[in-house]
Amino acid sequence: MVPPIVIGAHPKRQDPEPIELGVMLSRLTQAPIDVVATFWFDSTPHGTASDDYRRTLTEEVQDRIEQSAGDSGRPPAEVRVHVGYAPTKQALHERASEVGAGLIVVGSTHRGAIGRIALGSTTDRVLGRAPCPVAISPRGFRDRAGVPGRVGVAFVDTPGGWAAMRAGAAIARHTGADLIAYTVIDSHAHDADRDPAAAAIEQAIMKHAFDIRSEARVLSEGGVDALVAESRKLDFLVRGAGGHGPVRRPLAIGLADKLARQVACPLFVVPPGVDEPLVTLFGARAGVEDDAELAMRRVPA
């Protein structure tokens, strides 16, 4: 059974990006969709929303889903819409836990230029302690009904980084995409720091991406800016959450995270220990431990 995709959408604002991305991912995986639309105000006289009002908002959300499905040419497998009054983080986490979601999809804030993510307080809260990976749709994103060709993984040698590699390989394997794994190190780092970083990314590829076209790239110039530039060539970028790498920590969650604010493609954030829902969503199997076998079966980039 394919786990559902939970999408966070405001019932009144025209924020098509998370629905566009959620519908695209449903098309790729045949996963059912749960759209959670929450808000804090109540315009009814006695402080409780009427059935008519709730129904109207539900219809508006459904119309936006149909518009997105029409653009992609293929409707989602199944859609359930939930409209109500609750904090967004609470509603999304509860729904994801209740249905056993493989992924939560949210959008960026209204601040920032098209194509840039500026994580706001709501999205940042959703990332914290999420029961499954979270995908952030950048502003201006539209599903062009294409098949992803390049999946990037921002890797650091931490539990979150390894979870991201496993998840990124699952997406690439399922879609037939190439996988490009990046690790960012300080340009002033000594060889004693560079060599373990390069070895770790190769080891992660050997373990989780041995059977797909894959490539390791060590970015030692430009820092996170170099990774942001690479994101313009990618269809998806996957990164870990929590923990710091041995050289530097460019991939930590937070409002100051330059990668999260400027990445040009959908960004999947995979906390350590909860990558299995996304791996299940994309139908991939876990990595194998025998490195000798992996070396024989790995497809060269």
Domains of the chain plus CATH, in order, are 5-137 (3.40.50.620), 150-297 (3.40.50.620)
Residue % of the chain over a pLDDT of 90 = 36
Nearest C-alpha neighbor of 37 from the set 83, 69, 91? 83
Pairwise CA distance, residues 266 & 274, whole Å? 19
Of residues 116 and 128, the one with the higher pLDDT is: 128
CA dist 219 → 151, 183, 279, 291 (Å):
17, 6, 27, 25
| Residue 225 confidence (pLDDT) | 85
Q: Which amino acid is at 74?
A: R
| Residue 297 confidence (pLDDT) | 36
Q: How confident is the model at residue 231 (pLDDT cuts 50, 70, 90)?
A: very high
Furthest CA-CA distance within the chain: 70
pLDDT at 197 over 60: yes
Q: Which amino acid is at 55?
A: R
pLDDT at 104 over 90: yes
pLDDT at 196 over 70: yes
Q: Which amino acid is at 156?
A: V
Look over the chain and give the mean of its residue pLDDT values, rounded to a whole number: 77
pLDDT at 247 over 70: no
Q: Which residues fall within 8 angstroms of residue 241, CB to CB, at 6 or more apart?
A: 127, 160, 253, 269, 270, 271, 272
| Residue 262 confidence (pLDDT) | 81
Nearest C-alpha neighbor of 217 from the set 187, 192, 183, 246? 183
| Residue 232 confidence (pLDDT) | 93
Q: Which residues fall within 8 angstroms of residue 191, CB to CB, at 6 or more apart?
A: none
Using the CB atoms, write b or e for 181-220: b if 16+ within 10 Å: bbbbbeeeeeeebbeebbebbebbbbbbbbbbbbebbbbb
Tokens of 211: 């059977």
Are the beta carbons of 182 and 164 closer than 8 angstroms?
no
| Residue 215 confidence (pLDDT) | 95
In this prediction, residues 254-273 reach a mean pLDDT of 74
**SS3 state of residue 287:** coil
Of residues 124 and 198, the one with the higher pLDDT is: 198
| Residue 190 confidence (pLDDT) | 63
Flag the least confident range among 42-56, 108-122, 244-258: 244-258
Report the sign of the C-alpha dihedral through residues 53, 55, 56, 57, in that order. positive
pLDDT in tens, 38-91: 766 555 555 555 566 677 777 877 777 777 766 555 556 688 888 877 778 888
| Residue 48 confidence (pLDDT) | 56
Pairwise CA distance, residues 159 & 260, whole Å? 19
| Residue 186 confidence (pLDDT) | 72
Give me the phi and psi of 90, to 5 degrees please.
Answer: -60, -45
Pairwise CA distance, residues 221 & 157, whole Å? 19
Give the strand order in the sheet containing 150-154: 79-84, 33-38, 5-8, 103-107, 134-137, 267-270, 236-240, 150-154, 178-184, 214-219
Beta strands per DSSP E along 89-195: 103-107, 134-137, 150-154, 178-184
Strand partners, 236: 151
Pairwise CA distance, residues 2 & 85, whole Å? 28
pLDDT in tens, 139-187: 888 877 678 999 999 998 888 899 999 999 999 999 999 999 998 887 6
